Chain A
Amino acid sequence: MNDTELIAQLLHETTPEPPSDISLVGLRAAAPAPALVTIEAIHPAPSRRWLPVIAAGAVAACVAGALTAVALVGHDSHAVSPAGSGGSSPSSTSTPAASASSSGAPQLGPTNAAGPLGSPTTSYAGQPATPAAPQTGPSNGFSTSFTSGH
């Protein structure tokens, strides 16, 4: 026999028999699979884990946008159309940034006498930022306070 055969014989004939077999019960307790399955079931994948956060962020963004829109609309509801057209309709919440031009298309910018946002409380230097006194307008009960530009 050569050396490798002698080693193989030595290994086979001198290695003792194990004192006991491997217990399947103990193996079941040691196996990590159930814990992994449970963890997988409880905790979704990382991408799915962020879904509630993303959804909450989206809802918050929508709410914030809605509140901003309401605030702007409420803010603008005090504004009226530029002189000449104001007061015609109490329900009109004219967009002060847009003025009716001859072509009918709204124009943006300083050509609007009310300014970009047409703030009714706009005051110049030295003037208190209080709403102007009601002006006598059309007898429709709709009063406006409008501070024109230059």
Chain B
Amino acid sequence: MVEGQDNGEFADFVRSSSRELQRSAWLLCGDWHSAQDLVQTALAATWPRWVDIQRDDRPQVYVYRVMVNAHLRARRRRWRGELPTAELPEPPAAPPAHPTEMRDELRRALSRLSPQQRTVVVLRYFVDLSEADVATAVGCSIGAVKSHASRAVRTLREAPELIDYFEQGVKI
């Protein structure tokens, strides 16, 4: 375990970035329990290597890389062919105007993406990482990042949940 100054610097990093990490994890997982588990797993794996990681300019990229790997690994492990849901996936009659309602629409629209596309969307458009950093975090080429992002944007653009948002520019 890192001690002393490194321990304090890691604690500062956790305090300053844990909310953003959790929100990103929520976008990846879709629920808070899994998101918090994912962030905790990533930070726990990062902590022992913190001395080496902090020498890099962007330790955040490393944490996201650990988080993405853990998330994709967990998704491969679990059976997700059928998920029980109380809500039918039909588009709503009226466009949601409240952020809470829009949140559910966003979550359903994101579930239409493949894990890699969803990861690229979150890291590229929410975390605002560069394409090179996204490629590093996901472990693929920059070309693959561009391809995933392009397909993901097209899928979201055509998603029934978000069609009003894109066409009418619903103010959230």
Which residues in A have some Cβ–Cβ distance to B below 8 Å? Answer: 1, 3-4, 6-22, 24, 26-28, 30-34, 36-37
Contact = CB atoms under 8 A, between A and B. Distances in A.
B165 to A, nearest CB: 7
B14 interface: yes
Contacts of A8: 125-126, 128
A11 B1 contact: no
Contacts of B32: 18-19
Given A16-B103, A31-B48, A33-B47, A10 B14 contact: no
Interface string B131-163: 000000000000000000100010011000010
8 contacts: A4-B125, A4-B153, A10-B162, A16-B23, A18-B22, A20-B36, A28-B1, A33-B2
B167 to A, nearest CB: 10
B26 A22 contact: no
A27 B102 CA distance: 32
A30 B40 contact: yes
B44 A7 contact: no
Q: By DSSP majority rule, is chain B's interface helix, strand, loop, or mixed?
A: helix
Given A11-B126, A34-B1, A22 B103 contact: no
A1 B169 CA distance: 9
A26 B48 contact: no
Given A11-B106, A13-B172, 20 more contacts: A1-B169, A3-B157, A6-B165, A6-B166, A15-B106, A18-B19, A18-B26, A19-B32, A21-B18, A22-B18, A22-B22, A22-B39, A24-B11, A24-B14, A26-B40, A27-B43, A30-B40, A31-B44, A32-B45, A33-B2
Contacts of A30: 40-41, 44
B126 A12 contact: yes
Contacts of B22: 18, 22
A24 B166 CA distance: 40
A27 B21 CA distance: 14
B67 interface: no
A10 to B, nearest CB: 6
A27 B40 contact: yes
A26 B125 CA distance: 30
Interface size on B, as a range, is 35 or more
Interface string B34-53: 01100111011101100000
Interface string B102-124: 11001000000000000001100
Given A15-B126, A37-B1, A21 B19 contact: yes
B92 interface: no
Contacts of B1: 28, 31, 33-34, 37
B23 A15 contact: yes
A74 to B, nearest CB: 61
